[in-house]
Each structure stands twice: as C-alpha cells, then as structure tokens.
C-alpha cells in the first residue's frame, strides 16, 4: 500500500498538482482515442452483441437472444441503439411465413469495439503495473 501511495504522489498534472484516481495510473488514457471512451459499447448486452458479431459473420435475433440469455425486449432495445449508431446492420426477411432478423457488425462497429478493447487493455496494463 505504501509503495502504491508513493507512485501516486510522483504523478503530477501539467500545472504541478498531483494526479488523483485513475488518471494517476501511468498509461491510462494516454492518447485521445482512449479518452473518448465509448459508453455505448460499455453496456453488458451491447458489448455482448458486438463481441458475438465480431466472431460471427451474422447472427439471428433468436441466436443472439439465446447466446446472451436476455429477453426479446431487452435485446431489441440494445440492438436498436447499436443500429442507430451505425455499429450493427439489421436485415429483416421471411423464411416462408416466419419473420427473420439478422444482425452483422459494420466496419464502424468493429472499429468502435477495437477502440473499446484497446482502452480496457490499457487500463488493465496500467492497473497491474501499479500493483507491482
């Protein structure tokens, strides 16, 4: 604990005041992309949707609902937010008389997910460095 406190005391802002909280961790939010933390991706169901679509070319509404163990309404609301942001694409069709909704991750969505993962990796690295 004393070693961690000493590290915090050495971290200074540009005005000379000591940094506090997460900003005192070396490497945390070091670049502009990391400072623009995407709260849209952060939410558990939306992160699950984007992660599942990142490793599958497309998934149906039913597949996503079962995979994420969520309700129709919950999935629908979160998918709509991602679609409105341009992070996922939604295609509706019919298989016979049965409606089918398929989702896929867009290029913009893949980039947003990568930025989010980079941010989290930087936070993990910085936190682990502080504990050493």
Spell out the domains of the chain, with CATH numbers in brackets: 2-131 (1.10.10.10)
Per-residue model confidence (pLDDT) at position 4: 44
Question: Cα–Cα distance between 101 and 90 in angstroms, integer?
Answer: 7
Question: Cα–Cα distance between 29 and 36 in angstroms, integer?
Answer: 9
Are 73 and 79 in contact, with CB atoms under 8 Å apart?
A: no
Kindly state the tokens that stand for 2.
Answer: 């004393």
Q: Which residues contact 10 (CB under 8 A, 6 or more apart)?
A: none
Instruction: Flag whether pLDDT at 12 surpasses 60.
Output: no
Task: Dump pLDDT digits (tens) for 60-101.
Answer: 999 999 999 999 999 999 999 999 999 999 999 998 999 999
Please give the model's pTM, rounded to 2 decimal places: 0.71
Beta bridge partners of residue 92, listed in sequence order: 101
């Amino acid at each position: 604990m004393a070693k961690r406190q000493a590290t915090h005391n050495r971290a200074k802002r540009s005005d000379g005041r000591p940094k506090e909280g997460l900003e005192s961790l070396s490497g945390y939010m070091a670049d502009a992309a990391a400072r623009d933390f995407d709260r849209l991706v952060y939410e558990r169901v939306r992160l699950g949707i984007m992660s599942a679509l990142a490793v599958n070319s497309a998934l149906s509404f039913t597949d996503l609902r079962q995979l994420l163990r969520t309700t129709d309404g919950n999935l629908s609301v979160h998918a709509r937010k991602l679609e409105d942001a341009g992070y996922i694409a939604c295609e509706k069709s019919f298989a016979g008389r049965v409606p089918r909704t398929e989702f896929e991750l867009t290029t913009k969505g893949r980039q947003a997910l990568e930025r989010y993962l980079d941010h989290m990796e930087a936070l993990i690295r910085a936190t682990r460095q502080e504990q050493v």
